Structure 1
Amino acid sequence: MTKNVLLTGGTGFIGKYLTKMLIDNGFSVSVLSRSNRNNTDSVTYYKWDLDRNYIDEKAVLNADFVIHLAGEGIVEKRWTAKRKKAILESRTKPIDLIHSVLQKNNKSLNAFVSASAIGIYGAETSDEICTESTPVANDFLGTTCQIWEDAVTKIESLGIKTIKIRTGIVLGRNEGFLKKLLPGFKMGFGTILGSGNQFLPWIHIEDLCAIYLKAIEDEQMKGAYNATVLDNTTNEILSKTLANLFKYSIWLPKVPAFVLKIVLGEMSIAVLTGKRVSSEKIKNEGFKFQFEDLERALSNCIS
């Protein structure tokens, strides 16, 4: 019998790619959406409204697995107090809603898989290689990720296996991180941000979705996993690699950190800092990355 996977954030960049991968691997997919959408042969849409604390319970009751991807973009808008609240609640409220349906109906799942982020290790630049046991950082990103992951323990308390995927920068064709970056590089105006020494832990969209697929298929997986390639990619290396793929060398001066701080405010730390992050744990589970070479990954995304 076909297993059903319920996605939150299923209409976003990662969600759309993951939906296709799940279907290609024999799953049916349900997606929670704020707007009315027509069902297809493989995807069923259900309504939810976080502002009204509403969710169509059938979405949860018909699910064998839940993958939670929903959340406001970290670098979409300046971090005002209101924006910070929205970033946090857009990640925790869906978990609370799903938990309430599961608890109310004594419903179980084969697994609950939640996105998380390597921001849990903090917004600073160092040579430290962070593992899943690295202490949580005491800053906005670290605290947000910790509360996000703590919310998942409500699901775990119901006896359901939970998995948290701590994601780095996601590289995909004309989407995600590259969507805003590529136009300038295509026109020959690519440059380096700040010192350029900040590490940029990255993962190709295909590998990330394959990790989510493994998370629901592998009964042994449990707990937190980093989803990044461990290499020495910095902002400068990525910028120069992109420019090289577009057949030119960077000629513009670096964008000074103080300029980014003026333009972006506190949010600038998300682009001016970065550590390396280990992928050893997920590899020890038998996962093999298809894209571990930055140039090959970027080339795939811009071809």
Structure 2
Amino acid sequence: MKETILITGGTGLVGRRLAALLAKDYNLRYLSRTPAGSNQFAWDISTGFLDPNALKDVDHIIHLAGENILKKRWTEDRKIALIESRVYSTKLLYTALEKAGRTIKTFISASAVGYYGAVTQQQAFSEEDPAGTDFAAELCMLWEKAADLFEDPTRCQRVVKLRTAVVLSAEGGALAPLSLPIKLGLGSSLGKGTQYMPWIHIDDLCSLYKYALTNTDVAGVYNASAPEQCTNAQITATIAKYFNRPLWLPNVPAVALKLALGEAADMLLEGSPVSTEKIQAQGYKFHYPALDAALKQLLKKEE
């Protein structure tokens, strides 16, 4: 008998790729605001509704849902929406599980390396380091705290939280906006360019979710980032190399990004390396540990 996984955020970039990876070995269900299939079930975070049929015989929950943090300026209303999509959705899942009187084997929640805050330093952050003090860090901290509700042994046997770096994919995400100006011959680094930009190939991220799912000794929080740590300038230069484009323009001024994005610009202008020693010590081997090989595979696929 195949085990059953309930996935939130299944229509997103990571959700689609992860579903393709898991479909052969698991029965998959999805939560959606507009369900359109027999394996899709309704939920509404704003009203606190979740179809109880979604939880019937579910063994695992993978929680990916969350509004795009850089899609809009961080007005007060936008900040509330970002919190609701991550924190309230997690609490809704736990409440629904509690009402159903069910116990699942695994709850795996997305988080982000933004947990450590928009700061630039040379020393890599490990999972034991404290949260930062800016909004993105506070958002991640609240997100993870909500996931900790599932530490209740009467409802869940194991909780995993993956602090995700910038996801590189040929199908969407950060790579396209990073690549487009370079293709047009207008590429340049952001701000000083010396800020780190932790990244991960989408195949590694999805493999990490599956690894966390199938290895019961994996529990707690892990940095989901490639081992090789690169600055924004290094990533920009490596992409330019593959498109054979010069980088002749000066760096994009920090003030321009702040005018365009407001407070959210700090996520692009600051960044530190993060350690992947913990997940590697658990036995995970990265398919794309280095940027050069990751971009070669992704950009070749894009051509």
TM-score range, shorter chain: over 0.9
Alignment of 1:16-95 (within 5 A): 16-24=16-24, 26-39=25-38, 44-95=39-90
| Aligned counterpart, 1:220 | 217
Identical aligned residues as a percent: 39
Unpaired runs of 5+ in structure 2? none
Q: Secondary structure at the match of 1:130?
A: coil
Q: Residue 137 of structure 1: which of 120, 127, 132 is its match?
A: 132
Any residues of structure 2 matched to 1:151-162 within 5 Å, and which?
A: 151-159=146-154, 160=156, 161-162=158-159
Note the residue ranges of structure 1 that are not aligned, 5 or more in a row: none
Asked if structure 2 preserves the Cα contact closer than 8 Å seen for 1:230 and 1:276, the reply is: no
- The letter of the residue matching 2:165 is G
- Number of paired residues? 298
Matched AA of 1:290: H
Aligned pairs for 1:228-247 (under 5 A) are 228-247=225-244
- Show the counterpart of 1:296: 293
Compute the RMSD of aligned alpha carbons: 1.2
Large movers: runs of 4+ above 3 Å: none
Rounded to whole Å, the distance in 1 between the matches of 2:11 and 2:100 is 27
1:9 alignment partner in structure 2: 9
The alpha carbon displacement at 1:231 in A equals 2.5
TM-score, scaled relative to structure 1: 0.95
**1:174 correspondence with 2:171:** yes
Deviation string, structure 1 residues 183-231 (Cα, Å, up to 9, x no partner): 2222222211100000011110000001100111111111000111232
Query: CA offsets, 1:37-64, max 9 Å, x none?
Result: 234xxxx111111122111111122311
Q: Does 1:248 pair with 2:245?
A: yes
Distance in 2 of aligned mates of 1:32 and 1:179: 28
Q: 1:228 to 1:122 in 2, by over 3 A?
A: same
- Please identify, of 122-131 and 182-191, the stretch whose mean Cα deviation from structure 2 is larger: 182-191
How many Å apart are 1:181 and its aligned residue?
2.4
3-state DSSP class of the match of 1:110? Answer: strand
